[in-house]
Chains A and B, each alone.
Chain A
Amino acid sequence: MIKAFTLFFCSLFLILPGFTQTIDEDDIIFAALQDELERNMTQLQFKDFPKPFFMAFSLSQSETLFIRATLGGIIYSRPHRQNHWYTRLMIGDYQLNDENFHHMSAQPPGFSGNIQIPLEADYWAIRRAFWMTTNNVYKSATANYQNKITALKQKGIHPDSLEIPDFSQAPVIKRNLSPSHSLPDLSQLEKLARELSLVFKQYPDITDSQVDIYFNQNKVYFVNSEGTRVTYPVHIKVIHVSAQLQAENGEIFSENIKYYWQDQKNQPPADSLIQDAHRLAGYLQQLKDAEAFDQSYFGPALLIDQASAKFFSDVLFSDDLNLISRRQPLFNNHQVTMYMDRNVNVTEGKIGKSVTLPAISIYDMPGLRHFGKTPLIGSYQIDAEGVVPPDSLILVEKGELQNLYANRIPTEKVRQSNGHFRPLISHYEWARQTGPGVMMIRHNPPEDSAVSDLKALLIRKARQQNLDFAILIKPLSLSGYASEKPIGSYIIGVDDPAPALVRSTELQSYAKNALSKIGGLSQQYYVYNTIFAPWNDFRVVSRRRSGLQLNGVAASFIVPDQLLLEEIELEGIPTPISVNKPVVPNPVKTNP
């Protein structure tokens, strides 16, 4: 049916170009993808090597907008259109195919060389690009498959004895989820960037400040040889406000606020942004005047709002406990063996076992679009493999691990995709990664053990450990959220419960069994929207202000807004050896 339509369309396109404007762009792109996919599925065979058994084509139309401003002046204003595409092709069958195999000379599937994809819905040009790419991918997949069969023989493994299939079956889906979006007026956003960045003109101690506005809007077309045909949106809008200040001792510290949203109606209003920018500047001033923390602390801490969310997003995707399933591939090289052995996800062995307090359950609810009035940027309906995620994925039930996030590559205990292969929001590439959508940490303590005043409990625990003070970590409370690594903490004296801000604190990594060190959780919830990237988070703490850098999946974490940890390790950052203050005063000071 599609084929017949396509041929009809082609003649129109070539003979009466004017008519193309009346043909829906989606139909042109889908026809190009579908026709080329079918042609390759039926015709692509080199010598006596097998034909592909599975193919998927994905084309993403991407529009981005990046504006940077400082002190009322625009530094960059760059709208950009770019199309990305991806071909996945497998040789073999669901049980045994060319994937999940590491061979030192193998090209990764999806390699597209220097082939360019058209910006326009050009039927033949799209087909041509996919034809060339698919040809390359087919060759590399065929070579990988042959090498994998050889490697299995060398290891004395009969293919029929393989317990875990290489690829899981998935239902056929046909949906069009792309709402029509258009990027907002560039001049309006430039005006906003100018106004917002001008706030810092009033703060002569701020040595550097920046406002970044980044809009990334993708419409993804996906077809596969199983019959799935979907379009889905991947879009994010970001405002990133950052500022830097230098203390009298030469120490430089910076803080930033990020705002994420998807629907234009959720863009934070300008007056609220301006108010937050003032609070950011005020907070840096407070930090400058705050006492520097010059000791080590080991004891209880109360983590508020984003600090609580960051705790969960760190410890649930750590080396010790990782909620993302990971297939251990076959390999035929000693160096790869060494590397892969270190990258086995040990969490799968904990399925069915207790990993945290019985009062804690963890779910992912990707269909949830709002929590209260807060929009959730991690919400989605179809993943990058065309799989619809369940309404609620139970990861941890009453403290016991039940499941892991998974794509269509089965692992020992997670044999089916649960629709969590997510497209990355990235400046750099069109890539996908298994990850969370809308994760909720639910706390249901028995009624008799619920603690209403966690701050009082914190002080009690500090006293029990003979400490003079306890720590409260509370990032700036704004309509967006402040940097992920708090640069300031509050000290609460056991005899003086009024929190006092200290600067130059550095939170060390959480303990190995941190989830079992939870001393209490509130029953109010906080929403943390973020671009989440556990796979490239090297826990580098940057004290210097840096520009917006995005490379992860859009995710939302709904967490208890207060988290009491029995113990944390907090270090004071050493004071710089020399005071390296500016030679000439900041011009904002001399020309206010």
Chain B
Amino acid sequence: MIKKSSDLLLILIPAVTVRLSFLALLALPGITMAQTLGEPDSLMQILVQELKREIDGLSIQEYPPYYLEYRVDQTEQLSLSASFGSLTDSSHTKSRILSTSVRLGDYQLDNTHQLKGDAGFRRLNQYSYGVPISLDNEPLAIQQTMWMITDKAYKKALSDYLNLLNQLEMRENSGQSAPPDFSPAPPQQFYESKAPFPAIDQAGWINTLKHISALFAQSDDYLSGEASLRYEQQRKYFISTEGTQLIHNHRYASIMIQASIRSKDGNLLPLHQSFYALTPAGLPDEKTLAQEVRKMISQLQALKQAPVAEPYTGPALLSPEAAGVFFHEIFGHRIEGHRLKDEDDGQTFKSKLDKPILPSFIQISSDPTRKMHYDQHLIGAYAYDDQGIKSQPVEIVNDGILKNFLMSRNPIPGFDQSNGHGRAAAGLTPVSRQSNLIIKSSKPSSEQALRKKLIKACKKQKKTYGYYFKEVVGGFTLTNRYTPNVFNIMPTVVYRVYVDGRPDELVRGVDLIGTPLAMFAEIAATGNESGIFTGFCGAESGSIPVTTISPALFVEKVETQRKPESHVEAPVIESPKPKTIE
């Protein structure tokens, strides 16, 4: 059945017998795969041809693979940067990164199996890196690289598999009772039309970046003042012996503005601002960006004068953006399914399924199919994940009760299928990752009501003030068992909210820290307006684009710690300045 939309040609083959072997599949008449796509794509034809050749050769081995896949991430990127009013980088690059996965054994027990006791070593051993391939669709150039990495991957898989079989023989538990190592998937075919790289007014953008970054050059206080534009367009290819063949696109444009100022005591105070759109045409114009920079300048000047916050424990408000990072770090990473199979991981939610983990008014879902939030593009959206699984919305928390995990094709007890969250940066091995994490509340409160709750809680806890975390730059969390299972969110703009009605006071030098379960218990209310935090999440499968949509949060008790100190001395002589600007 062929269905055409404005720019997509979608072909879905009904799920046939899922456990159909690849040999049978390739033998089916008509499954010379590239020919079934709506438009001929030369690269896909080459991938198909070599996949078949490799399988023909490998299937006659004593230990033939039961699964083989190839992934190609084709990326074209334009990058422009300016610092203090001057162009510092201008590049336009193209790359194609090929990666493969070869599996020996069967879905239940294969060469990637983790045995108790050697999880750490074997987990590290599983990760592989991609290799660059020809940008031209020159068949032999691409096929020879495919051949080389397949040979290497097959030999490693064979060695791992034989070693595994030996290990299992030595153990009482054969490993067969463990969850399967890989989940089967119905064959999918999807073809998205090629999108030409858009015409971008580079000269215009360079001027804009120079103009807006020049605003930081007006004071010697600024240690950095940069603005950059990035436009990245990806075309992702996926093909496997299960019969899946996918070609889909992903793109985003961003403006990043970054500046830092020296405080009186020599600390470095950074501020960041970013804007995302589908293409550069959707990004803010120079006038808007300049306004944002001027706001940043005011904010930085205020931060320079702001007092350093002391470590604190007590009530706090988190803006929607800060709450987004909060949920991404303390919640999102702990519902990534593969971690629950990893002996080294803290597995915070392993036994919490169908149990309350958050206040009953909170719903959380992960929805990579969602492309927009009002007028904003969500860069965490994708059509298919990096394991060839169609993206789908997943309800994670319903009325505060944990209902699901983000699943890749690495099954865990009770979850034997992927829900399309196997993601990776180009060339890396996919694991379950976040996409668009959406937090909703069934009991929203106005901003005014949240402030009232904050002040009331402060009074109750005998605090003269609470904290309002307004802007954050990012965060990190540790989920393994060998270090404290903590998170750290790095705010850049934080206010003290006084109970006696004084105006809010900007403070600096503070990080929001804590442990996940203790923090969840303290969430008391949410706001009635949602905000988006867009970023790139780094984990074992590389850096991937994600978004979090969240309302503001009122938390009964948070803990903060001092930021690491930096020591930047004032320059001995003032900066060189044109007299006319002075």
B53 interface contact, C-beta 8 A: yes
Stretch at the interface among B148-156, B311-319, B414-422: B148-156
A132 interface contact, C-beta 8 A: yes
Q: Are B580 and A71 in contact (CB under 8 A)?
A: no
Q: Are B89 and A583 in contact (CB under 8 A)?
A: no
Q: Give the residues in chain A near B575, CB-CB below 8 Å.
A: 128, 131-132
What does the 1/0 interface line of A294-314 toward B look like (CB < 8 Å)?
000000000000000000000
Q: Give chain A nearest CB distance to B70 CB in angstroms.
A: 14
Given contacts A75-B133, A128-B217, contact A587 B572 (CB under 8 A): no
B166 interface contact, C-beta 8 A: no
Q: Are A14 and B580 in contact (CB under 8 A)?
A: yes
Q: Are B154 and A70 in contact (CB under 8 A)?
A: no
Given contacts A71-B141, A125-B84, A583-B58, contact A194 B578 (CB under 8 A): no
B57 interface contact, C-beta 8 A: yes
A122 interface contact, C-beta 8 A: yes
Q: 8 Å CB contacts to A: which residues of B306-327?
A: none
Q: Give the residues in chain B near A131, CB-CB below 8 Å.
A: 571, 573, 575-576
Q: Are A580 and B155 in contact (CB under 8 A)?
A: yes
Q: Give the residues in chain B near A35, CB-CB below 8 Å.
A: 576
B531 interface contact, C-beta 8 A: no
A117 interface contact, C-beta 8 A: yes
Given contacts A77-B94, A120-B87, A207-B148, contact A39 B573 (CB under 8 A): yes
Q: Are A71 and B140 in contact (CB under 8 A)?
A: yes
B205 interface contact, C-beta 8 A: no
Q: 8 Å CB contacts to A: which residues of B532-582?
A: 569, 571-573, 575-581
Task: Report whether over half of chain A's contact residues are helix, strand or loop; otherwise say mixed.
Answer: mixed
Q: Give the residues in chain A near B85, CB-CB below 8 Å.
A: 122, 124-125
Q: Are A587 and B53 in contact (CB under 8 A)?
A: yes
Q: Are B148 and A208 in contact (CB under 8 A)?
A: yes
Q: Are B58 and A132 in contact (CB under 8 A)?
A: no
Q: Are A74 and B58 in contact (CB under 8 A)?
A: no
Q: Give the residues in chain A near B155, CB-CB below 8 Å.
A: 580, 583
Q: Are B136 and A46 in contact (CB under 8 A)?
A: no
A45 interface contact, C-beta 8 A: yes
Q: Are A70 and B571 in contact (CB under 8 A)?
A: no
Q: Are A116 and B226 in contact (CB under 8 A)?
A: yes
Q: Are B145 and A44 in contact (CB under 8 A)?
A: no
Given contacts A583-B57, A587-B53, A587-B143, contact A119 B89 (CB under 8 A): yes
Question: A172 to B85, alpha carbons, bound, how many Å?
Answer: 35
Q: 8 Å CB contacts to A: which residues of B168-198?
A: none
Q: Are B578 and A124 in contact (CB under 8 A)?
A: yes
Q: Are B571 and A116 in contact (CB under 8 A)?
A: no
Question: A389 to B133, alpha carbons, bound, how many Å?
Answer: 45
Q: Give the residues in chain A near B56, CB-CB below 8 Å.
A: 584
What does the 1/0 interface line of B226-238 toward A look like (CB < 8 Å)?
1000000000000
Given contacts A11-B580, A587-B50, contact A73 B135 (CB under 8 A): yes
Q: Are A208 and B144 in contact (CB under 8 A)?
A: yes
Question: A50 to B345, alpha carbons, bound, how many Å?
Answer: 57
Q: Are A75 and B132 in contact (CB under 8 A)?
A: yes
Which 8 pairs between the two chains have the least Cβ-Cβ distance? A73-B134, A73-B141, A584-B57, A73-B138, A125-B86, A118-B86, A71-B141, A587-B143
Question: Residues on A close to B: CB < 8 A?
Answer: 10-11, 13-15, 35-36, 39-40, 43-46, 68-78, 80-82, 114, 116-120, 122, 124-125, 127-128, 131-132, 135, 138-139, 194, 197, 201, 207-208, 580, 582-588, 590-591
Question: Residues on B close to A: CB < 8 A?
Answer: 50, 53-54, 56-58, 61, 81, 83-91, 93-96, 132-148, 150-151, 154-155, 217, 224, 226, 569, 571-573, 575-581
Beyond contacts A135-B573, A580-B155: 11 other A-B pairs, Cβ-Cβ < 8 A, are A14-B578, A43-B573, A72-B140, A75-B133, A75-B134, A76-B95, A76-B135, A125-B83, A125-B86, A128-B217, A587-B143
